[in-house]
Structure 1
Amino acid sequence: MVMLKLVVEKEKNRVLFAESSKDLVDILFSFLTFPIGTIIRLTNKESNLGCMDSLYKSVEGLDIQYFHTKACKAMLLSPRSDSELQYRNLVLDLININDQMKYYSCPSWACATKTHCVFSMFENSKCLCGQEMQELGHTAEDGRDRVAFVEGNCKFIITDDLHVSIMSTEARELILRRFNIIEGLLIEERLVHLGTREVLKLLKHSLVSKTPMTDVILEQGDLLTSQMVKSEPLEYLKLQIYPTQTEEKRMNLKLLIKISSNTVLYAEANEDFLDLLFSFLAFPVGSVVKLLDGFSSVGSIDNLYRSVEDLCSRSPEKFAKCKDLLLHPMVAWHHGCENQILQIKEGNLRLGRNMIKLINPKYHDTVCKRGRGFIRKPMKFMVSDELYVLPYSPNSSISFANKLGAQLNDLEERFVTVGEQQAMSILKDSLTSKTALTNVFCQKSEGVHSCLEHGNHLERFKWPRLGPTFRDIDISPSP
């Protein structure tokens, strides 16, 4: 359990701020290191995080045959974290760390420590010597230093929207002045205890709310009826001018557009675009905020990230060991994707002072080299506006359009190109909207479609006759 003292505005029954030890701050900062797929799993696929629940369910529903290996699917549904060694020192075990942090090595001690020195994150892996690996009796770096992210024992002030600062009289008074509160007359203090259940709810609300502490601790919020935080116009413009690489990767999409509403029904895409989307699930939350230059618009997460920036500059000694983990989080070992336009560095696992070699589970052979995507080639898929993915076939595409009530004379094909700027926009809108493809490719600017501004070719769509005999397709994942 974590204890904290709430300062509550009595009349409006809302949290102004909380005073806490570093235990809760460690937990909040750990949110920045969680891969998105882990968050979707922890919230039982009910995160309300834009299109991410749909993307996660798509991975669940796709047959293993579409992935390079069985492990590729597992890596997306339960992605590892580059910071998982720090999680052992959190006072609450949010992700069942003992089940998640499993490693496998050769049963021959000499081979495991001298000859080949390779490890695996997945069972049924084979060592380079040919023997099947066995689970280790302990995890890497088993000695604990009891420091998760914050060193020392100072106290912190946490606002309702998750801005964290070191506790001081000045910080307390500044918050009260912000709300025009006279201390002692309009506020009251309450001691509360948070367990794993409450902290997981806090994680869920931090993704979609600007008042997660009031929502969870005072039970004032309802995710079923709450509105997701929308991107501000200036933030969108900031994203549009994000600098691109010199030699930029690009991929092509064919969109089916409903003309009357100027919305995307679905995109026809190959395995490269699927790798782009699915690898979002392996991205740590903090890396997304960094990619989007601090403007992810994901609930209160940006405030957490800015708090770390501020605390690292003001008290560098307390964050010296974890600054990079929080501000520049990497994807876990071999969880990167060579087809991903938005490249994030992969971490490295250490055993004591030595870097260890991990088998790349994306290959059937025992290799330690990095690289490869998750999806086999050549493959073709349908991707809905909400980023639900299905294998493509003419019948399924017709049935899908029929289910949405599309009329023949109201359909149009558009061919678009996805580069770094478009990939950034898809990432941002997939976190804050249920219509990611429409937002990126059908935005209007001065009466002209944004896809035209990028020089993409448009063509009238010739669609087969839709008839009542086509059944509605079930886009729910298979049991």
Structure 2
Amino acid sequence: MANSKVSMKLLIDNSKVRRVLFAEASKDCVDFLFHILSLPVATVIRLLRAEGMKGSLPNLYKSLEDLNDTYLLPNHSKDAFLKPVVPVSTSTLPLLALPAAPTTQKNFYRCSGCNNNSYNSSYKHVSDDPRATCPSCSRVMNISVAYVDPPATEVASKEGGLVKGVVTYMVMDDLKIKPMSTISSITMLNKFNVKEVGSLEEKVVDLGMNEAIKLLKTSFETNNVLTTIFC
């Protein structure tokens, strides 16, 4: 990834209580914001535990984290739940994506009876537990079978991400997002009853990892996300 940050331009009203009216954002920034929706719950908990995440979900996470592996079923890993793979487009900036958990090797087994010395025949039953019993010949299914990965999915668009980059987007204080236009900007100023243009301030802010975590945490606590973080 060439960049480590994305940026947005805030329009701040200083007339009364200092507040963010809305932000002007590019495709990269909007892709990042929508990327938050794809984060698994466990990833959100892992990101926010150090920030003092409230509620009982951190306790649930900690319980599985502390659970001894002897209590897990075969072919199951705690990391599949604690560190799930986060869907990421290679051309977007996944600021909240953590290093992917090591891929758990998939092991499958067949019995030693149904296909013994029969090259052209195919076995009908496969198990992920070497202690399983074949329903056809009643033998233990402990013969390892090689697992073949599916073909890689081709990227549908060279642009990458989710939204198109031909327009600028408006991000509201409560993270509502829509395409931006001159008319929509004027409408927003009227909606917020802005009387003096001189009280407005433009401010460009960067979103790095620290700001990204603050944004995620604040979005659970208030509708005035941008104001809370940047004002």
Question: Is the TM-score greater than 0.5?
Answer: yes
Aligned residue number for residue 257 of structure 1: 12
Give yes or no for the alignment of 1:276 onto 2:32.
Answer: yes
- Fraction of identical pairs, as percent: 32
1:290 CA displacement: 1.4
Whether contact under 8 Å (1:275, 1:337) holds in the other structure is no
Aligned residue number for residue 316 of structure 1: 69
Distance 1:393 1:342, change over 3 A: same
Aligned residue number for residue 339 of structure 1: 93
1:285 CA displacement: 0.9
1:359 CA displacement: 2.0
Distance 1:268 1:377, change over 3 A: same
Distance 1:431 1:355, change over 3 A: farther
Give yes or no for the alignment of 1:266 onto 2:22.
Answer: yes
Q: 1:289 aligns with which of 29, 45, 48?
A: 45
Q: 1:423 aligns with which of 194, 209, 212?
A: 212
Give yes or no for the alignment of 1:359 onto 2:153.
Answer: yes
Whether contact under 8 Å (2:9, 2:23) holds in the other structure is yes
Q: Return the letter of the residue paired with 2:37.
A: L
1:337 CA displacement: 6.2
Q: Which of 412-421 and 381-390 deviates more?
A: 412-421
Aligned residue number for residue 395 of structure 1: 183
State the number of aligned residues: 186
Aligned counterparts, 1:80-159, within 5 A: none
1:364 CA displacement: 5.0
Cα distance in 1, alignment partners of residues 185 and 28 from structure 2 = 20
In the alignment, structure 1 segments of 5+ residues that lack a partner are 1-246, 366-370, 443-479
Cα distance in 2, alignment partners of residues 346 and 357 from structure 1 = 20
Distance 1:290 1:400, change over 3 A: same
Cα distance in 2, alignment partners of residues 275 and 296 from structure 1 = 27
Does 1 or 2 have the higher relative contact order (CA < 8 Å, sep 6+)? 2
Distance 1:265 1:341, change over 3 A: same
1:257 CA displacement: 0.9
Cα distance in 2, alignment partners of residues 400 and 265 from structure 1 = 8
Helix, strand or coil at the partner of 1:309: helix
1:372 CA displacement: 2.7
1:99-145 deviation per Cα after TM superposition (whole angstroms, max 9, x unaligned): xxxxxxxxxxxxxxxxxxxxxxxxxxxxxxxxxxxxxxxxxxxxxxx
Cα distance in 2, alignment partners of residues 384 and 346 from structure 1 = 31
Q: In proportion to residue count, which structure has more helix? A: 1
Cα distance in 1, alignment partners of residues 89 and 206 from structure 2 = 25
TM-score normalized with structure 2 length: 0.69
Helix, strand or coil at the partner of 1:266: strand
Q: Which structure: larger Rg?
A: 2
1:293 CA displacement: 4.0
Whether contact under 8 Å (2:86, 2:97) holds in the other structure is no
1:430 CA displacement: 1.7
Distance 1:379 1:299, change over 3 A: farther
Whether contact under 8 Å (1:269, 1:383) holds in the other structure is yes
Whether contact under 8 Å (2:28, 2:92) holds in the other structure is no
Q: Return the letter of the residue paired with 1:392.
A: M
TM-score normalized with structure 1 length: 0.35
1:421 CA displacement: 1.2
Whether contact under 8 Å (2:36, 2:96) holds in the other structure is no
Distance 1:398 1:294, change over 3 A: same
Cα distance in 1, alignment partners of residues 96 and 84 from structure 2 = 14
Distance 1:354 1:380, change over 3 A: same
Q: Return the letter of the residue paired with 2:10.
A: L
Cα distance in 2, alignment partners of residues 436 and 357 from structure 1 = 41
